[in-house]
Structure 1
């Protein structure tokens, strides 16, 4: 078999966020080249410099005919890259180097660079769903309430890492007051609630194995709505344990279900989070699913991502 020339090889653009996560990354480009199948692929690199830079870089390469883009970063970087290619035949790859890595974890993409590169080389291209919140795509979760406030505080804090995140959670929890919302689900009747948080999930977790929607299926054409009601401070440890043991759906404080769309209204504009990124939005939020709208490289056995916890339901 003749080797492909450099011109004949498929070009992959690796979009690297140099400040994602907290772990030292070393020479990422060198390691990617070390583990890339250089017989089939030719790598190019773009190192991001600011918010929105990844999306712009991908859009420019799309116009040049590139069809494969690998996000090297966390869920925010994945969001920027994926947002540029939704609805196209281009394919997303992920090398997770962020703090939470929610989408990568759901898709069973390893956090180890060498193993993640093996999936880039030999994985299968599959189509997954994604969500829209007021015309902004999200691929893991979006929501309002306590988790959105924490996301805003975490982004403003300037310090990354799981333990700093937990510190902010504990500090804000002691003074947070649940808020009132009006919901309209799948175009049906409206109802009012007071909630600690409302999360609309495409994937099963926020990241860091915090499972807000344990039954979420990223390929079923649905989103999962999760509402956590106000609760007493002494109930918080149990809810936290359930969140990290994939059993939040068993809590009497949590109400959930599969939906296609939801409208959330609140008293005034406030923070919303999408894929860990906080943003101020207006009083009305329109959230909906886009079925199978993104091509992504996943482990070759598709059954592993259809339902990450399928074994829980086996006899």
Structure 2
């Protein structure tokens, strides 16, 4: 009898708003006759990366991130340029990469995908030394991500409350951009570097981004009158942000951005502080996804 493939599930118990106490039972009930299953729970930030690295070393065929975009980022970062494929059971606030890959948001349906899966290779990006798989950037979205991370409540409505609360206070910043094709200065409300098409929650900041084209879509939202905010929001949610007069989108293999000083940055929704000079690169087909 052939040896079963190893599949590991790395569960972030505090991601999103769903309780996950019954999830292990659902995994075993659906996949127990098909895989050698290992289920682990994260205990701290960075733990998902450590667990995933261990599973790579033990030659797991698939390592599944069960959580939000932050958990997916940690697990995927451990899997780049390895034989192990990333799986996702989306349980977060935005679920950007899962939505782009059209993975069901219902976890039972997501589990069932592993009964009949196909491995594909996708791109990832780096911003200086930080890997990202969906989007990263500076400006208003990074600022809101920082505020949201300090709130104990999770979910879309908490995030929306943060957006509305900070919108009036936020001041656009000046940036310098340099690519192989362009060199220019611009004041921007936000700058997003997109590997995938959306932030999450079907908010499409780069509607035509292709996760297998070896390129980064640079979406620049210029300062705009407050009265236009609702219209811009509607375009964001309807895949039409590229038709907005305040938006410029570039497509490039790498882009250098410089700002006045170091500040808040986000990668796959996770906030951090990054220095004033940021080099963003595309890395073609560096991650296997099941």
TM norm. shorter chain > 0.5: yes
* Runs ≥4 residues deviating over 3 A: none
Aligned equivalents of 1:31, 1:211: Cα separation in 2 = 32
Aligned equivalents of 2:277, 2:115: Cα separation in 1 = 43
The one of 269, 272, 285 equivalent to 2:265 is: 272
Correspondence 1:156-305 to 2 at 5 A:
156-185=150-179, 187-297=180-290
| Residue 80 of structure 2: aligned partner | 86
In structure 1, the gaps of 5 or more residues are 298-315
Residue-by-residue CA offset, 1:150-175 (whole Å, 9 max, x unaligned):
00000012221111111111111011
How far apart are residue 293 of structure 1 and its match? Answer: 0.4
| Residue 120 of structure 2: aligned partner | 126
| Residue 17 of structure 2: aligned partner | 22
How far apart are residue 237 of structure 1 and its match? Answer: 0.4
Q: TM-score, normalised by structure 1?
A: 0.90
Aligned equivalents of 1:44, 1:29: Cα separation in 2 = 10
Residue-by-residue CA offset, 1:27-77 (whole Å, 9 max, x unaligned):
1111111121x3331110110000100111111222222232001111111
| Residue 72 of structure 1: aligned partner | 66
| Number of matched pairs | 290
Q: What secondary structure sits across from 2:227 in the alignment? A: helix
CA RMSD in angstroms comes to: 1.1
How far apart are residue 189 of structure 1 and its match? Answer: 4.6
Residue 9 (structure 1) aligned with residue 4 (structure 2): yes
Q: TM-score, normalised by structure 2?
A: 0.97
